[in-house]
Structure 1
Amino acid sequence: MKRKDFLYLSGMGLGAAMFSNIPVMGSPVHPEAALQAVDIANKKRMADVALNAAKSRGASYADVRIGRYLNQSIITRETRVQNIANTESYGMGVRVLANGCWGFAATDKMDNDSIARAAELAVRIAKENSKLLSEPVQLAPQKGYGEVSWKTPIEKNAFEVPIKDKVDLLLAANNAALSAGANFISNQLFMINEQKYFASTDGSYIDQDIHRIWPSFTITKTDSKSGKFETRNSLGAPMGMGYEYLIPDKSTVLNGIFPIYRDRFDMVEDAKTAVAQLDQKLKAKPIEPGKYDLILDPTNLFLTIHESVGHPTELDRVLGYEANFAGTSFLTLDKWKSGKFNFGSNIVNFAGDKLQAGGLATVGYDDEGVKCGKWDIIKDGVLVNYQTIRDQAHILGLNASQGCCYAQSWDDVQFQRMPNVSLQPGKAKLAPADLIKNTEKGLYMFGRNSYSIDQQRYNFQFSSQLCYEIKDGKIAGMVSGAAYQANTQEFWNSCSAICDQSDYRLGGSFFDGKGQPSQVSAVSHGCSTSKFDKVNVINTSRKI
């Protein structure tokens, strides 16, 4: 090994360990090696080895996931590159049903004998587990699709873009912030490529190529006289897109009160804007607690959707399967069975959508080989459905799964994970400016910040990166320390207006944790700017 290669690979391994708050799985890999695809015919051959071994040992059903997971992360601070890491994880997971019970095993040794042993082990585990079984697993029917494929509709593969170009972009954003007066900026770019192959005894052989990208920064500005400081994070969202997301075009900035981004993100311009807004934050007066009409930009509202709508409509939470690790749900089955539980106002409509363009949870087929689609969860303010997988569908009387099964890696067992859950835009033409001019006393909030919510996803508190006071239909200036408090049902029943499709945008989480052992998944939540009447607001600021 050449010395420069040794230093390069050593640096990647150290960087992976240092990359804060981001789980980096796998071993270091050279970027060029990451672009070499695994032959699809060979994946089918390996899958058949596992399926045949499982059936020969007594499995009534089996599925195989061959996964190759590529991660690339780049971190910079001010004028320096702090870390570059490339990792790869490759192997196979085998899940089986035997004696009415699940069994699972995995291997990273991809020879025939190792694959067969993994399948045989999964069957043995299922049979041992069945001794404690009180009720056999009931799988929703699923037809086989034969040999099919699906790929995230990207324009430019981020892994094919030279690292130098990506570093140059991050440093350009840093330079723009520093030139505008920022004292500190840290910047990161994280890219994921999941190459997933699914096969089952139902007759499916599904090849998928999934891409996600997440640009982010944190900018800090200090006041040398007072010693106070303020920060502002990037308002760009993580997306299920390629590198084209970071190539600005004329559609980057939408018309509105403030620069906002949708299908493209201009990191350099957002960094400049952030510094100007930090000047306002340093001078902002503390919020006066009380009742306010809230106008929430999608950069803020997506997180409230995630916590108060996405999580409580996960059926495994409703059934108590997640109680120990992450809580349950106030949306119990009796509320759904009534057919009239008032979740929100009659303009509130939420849909689960695994095919949403740009969504982080968007795939063609889930990790049980179910073809994905879209369905209503909240309709005209009423709870009408949940999120399910194949062994849950019968509980709701459904004839098929909704395609909500996912595992973070080939060596993790798949289970129910959140689809893209989105607030549907308003039907009448309505822009944020219209909401503002019709508001007498309100707050206009941007960006995710601190939050808390109880274990049943009912009582909550959220704050924002930026908060502007509205007086008599006009923006009166920035305020600090504002956080809104409510319970989920009261909050969504206070929703009085939703902007139309032209304002619709996605926000999301790259790493949503769930399960024991814990797994992460990526999920988006779309919405347009929305108004909520007379919501309780408190002051969390230290300013007096």
Structure 2
Amino acid sequence: MKRRDFMHLSGMGFGALMASSVPVLGNAVSLEKLLEPGADVAFKKKMADIALNAAKSKGATYTDVRIGRYLQQFLFTRETRVQNIVNAESYGVGIRVIANGTWGFASTSDVTTEGIAKAAETAVAIAKANAKIQKEPVQLAPQKGVGEVSWKTPIKKNAFEIPIQEKINLLMNVNGEAMKNGAGFVTSNLFFVNEQKYFASTDGSYIDQDIHRIWPTFTVTAVDRQAGKFKTRDALSSPMGMGYEYLDGLASEKIPAPNGLVGYRNSYDMVEDAILAAKQAKEKMTAKSVQAGKYDLVLDPNHLGLTIHESVGHPLELDRVLGYEANYAGTSFATLDKWKTKSFNYGSKLVNIVADKTQPYTLGTVGYDDEGVPCKKWDLIKDGVLVNYQAIRDQVSILGEKESHGCCYADNWNSVQFQRMPNVSLQPGTEKRSVTDMIKGVEKGIYIIGRGSYSIDQQRYNFQFGGQLFYEIKNGEIAGMLEDVAYQSNTQEFWNSCAQLCDQDDYRTFGSFFDGKGQPSQVSAVSHGCPTTRFNGVNVINTGRKI
């Protein structure tokens, strides 16, 4: 068996298990229950004040309360069948306190005066017990209360209100068109999330937020039964902080790319992509296997977003840098001593990477984080130099800063909030440049589209990335499809090889809908924006070797 075939078989196995393995928060409910309005703001404020007062009476010096209603709808299909429809709701209260200089946390699904008061008292008792072994008191960055405010994802169509049959019809159309155009198998899914979150704190904030996210995706498989071969192509969609308008063309914007490919920004034609995927999966059957060696890589945003996520987003999480996150996917090579020099070259001078929880339509964008901090944008890498990390209220003092970055998050009311990755994005070039322009300047290269299998070491330094589609570039032109491609590098070497960026017109986002971190593990959703980008002299290996 070839290594590539082994990876594809593993991927198909994962696809079959996906319907039962995605993180579902809460209990199964009827569609009617899912569409019911949640508690009103007046009730939530009353319940929050009960928690704040109860915690203070037991000795808490700081308290925050999160009343959350988390809704999920997931649809799974295969060829002509509906495999599963999940409607889930989770509702409850999480209370976090500082007492005797130490954190305490408790939660309850009993959203009553008695239940909330008891949970607040428990949180304080836990903090006081923890204080007996606390070496240094929590240093919480100051945060001025914002009063009573609200924020909502600016959706045009609430995905939960779209009839189930309409969504199933879309997926059946996706599957049918893929089969008509050469697919042997196809699975398609829709994921919708709505977080209705109310935050209150002793700082004087009462924040009501209504957050929506959407992810349409599929996997198309072409089969050559005579040769005993198969190839797959996944959807080139990006999860978004949008409503159903992402799928129905109300926000339509397509970006042309070489070789008849189309990129999507703020809209997605799922059927069109499925048809193209079926044709490309068949084309991959006869694609030439790559010759290992050094190549200039032209990386599409739908691919490069994952590389940004793993080699920049995660290693610049301050808790990972400090070693607090060592038990889940490692620590970080980007240690504080490198940052303190103010001259550590993370990448070439073209590399400007920002953290941003305000960018419209992205997964990580909200008005306020789960500590009540207004969200913002800040530099991580400026002109190639490491200048900052991602930090929250009890971390920023380590950096000598007095204000949280506003990137604290919990995936449910019964999860304690902690530092999570904001949207981390590579800024576009300032010179006018299209993908075609970029390819014209490449003599020997590979154009890579879509995310594939990858691996990265515990310090987020040495890595290997594959992709969905690979096109050989010869003397400035696309010369045909390649297969068995993966590139290897280390984070600093790779980003220092960044040689060219397309401009703002090509800027698009990639997203991770279920990004895991922490123990117990939590999931979050995050986007990564970038233009198509060129990296020179990167080592490419052939993954088709036998194992």
The amino acid that maps onto 1:26 is G
Distance 2:140 2:201 in 1: 13
User: Secondary structure in 1 aligned to 2:369?
Assistant: coil
Aligned partner of 2:358 among 355, 359, 369: 355
Show the counterpart of 2:423. Answer: 420
Distance 2:250 2:29 in 1: 33
Distance 2:101 2:65 in 1: 18
Q: CA RMSD in A?
A: 1.2
The TM-score normalised by the length of structure 1 is 0.96
Identity %: 66
Correspondence list, 1:224-263, <5 A: 224-248=225-249, 251-257=252-258, 258-263=261-266
> Relative to 1, partners in 2 of residues 1:279 and 1:18: Cα closer, same or farther, differing over 3 Å?
closer
Show the counterpart of 2:22. Answer: 22
User: Secondary structure in 1 aligned to 2:32?
Assistant: helix
User: Secondary structure in 2 aligned to 1:132?
Assistant: coil
Show the counterpart of 2:348. Answer: 345
Of 294-303 and 318-327, deviating more is 318-327
Deviations 1:22-72 (A, max 9, x none): 101111122232232321100000000000000000000000000000000
1:264 equivalent to 2:267? Answer yes
The amino acid that maps onto 1:488 is T
Show the counterpart of 2:389. Answer: 386
**Which contiguous aligned blocks of 4+ residues in structure 1 show a shift greater than 3 angstroms?**
249-252
Structure 1 position 250, deviation (Å): 8.4
Aligned pair count reads 528
The amino acid that maps onto 2:390 is Q
Structure 1 position 438, deviation (Å): 0.5
Distance 2:108 2:546 in 1: 56
The TM-score normalised by the length of structure 2 is 0.95
Correspondence list, 1:319-330, <5 A: 319-330=322-333
Aligned partner of 1:446 among 443, 449, 456: 449
8 Å contact 1:286–1:543 — kept in the other structure?
no
Aligned partner of 2:460 among 447, 457, 461: 457
Show the counterpart of 1:4. Answer: none
> Relative to 1, partners in 2 of residues 1:310 and 1:404: Cα closer, same or farther, differing over 3 Å?
same
Show the counterpart of 2:193. Answer: 192
User: Secondary structure in 1 aligned to 2:165?
Assistant: helix
Structure 1 position 21, deviation (Å): 3.6
Distance 2:225 2:322 in 1: 54
Structure 1 position 256, deviation (Å): 2.3
Structure 1 position 216, deviation (Å): 0.6
Show the counterpart of 2:11. Answer: none
Structure 1 position 425, deviation (Å): 0.6
1:365 equivalent to 2:368? Answer yes
Deviations 1:172-222 (A, max 9, x none): 111110111211100000100000000000000000000000111000011
User: Secondary structure in 2 aligned to 1:260?
Assistant: strand
Show the counterpart of 2:5. Answer: none
Show the counterpart of 1:3. Answer: none
Structure 1 position 542, deviation (Å): 4.4
Structure 1 position 113, deviation (Å): 0.7
Distance 2:185 2:295 in 1: 34
Show the counterpart of 1:298. Answer: 301
Distance 2:463 2:27 in 1: 39
Distance 1:278 1:19 in 2: 23
Show the counterpart of 2:93. Answer: 92
Structure 1 position 166, deviation (Å): 0.5
Distance 2:267 2:220 in 1: 21
Correspondence list, 1:370-519, <5 A: 370-519=373-522
- Structure 1: 5+ residue runs without aligned partners? 1-16
Show the counterpart of 1:525. Answer: 528
Show the counterpart of 2:290. Answer: 287
Distance 1:407 1:543 in 2: 43
The amino acid that maps onto 1:540 is T
Show the counterpart of 1:314. Answer: 317
- Structure 2: 5+ residue runs without aligned partners? 1-16
1:333 equivalent to 2:346? Answer no
Aligned partner of 1:534 among 526, 530, 537: 537
Distance 1:71 1:416 in 2: 23
Distance 2:323 2:213 in 1: 31
Show the counterpart of 1:11. Answer: none
8 Å contact 1:214–1:238 — kept in the other structure?
yes
Distance 2:62 2:250 in 1: 49
Show the counterpart of 1:51. Answer: 52
Structure 1 position 249, deviation (Å): 5.7
Distance 2:546 2:250 in 1: 40
8 Å contact 1:298–1:505 — kept in the other structure?
yes
Show the counterpart of 1:149. Answer: 150
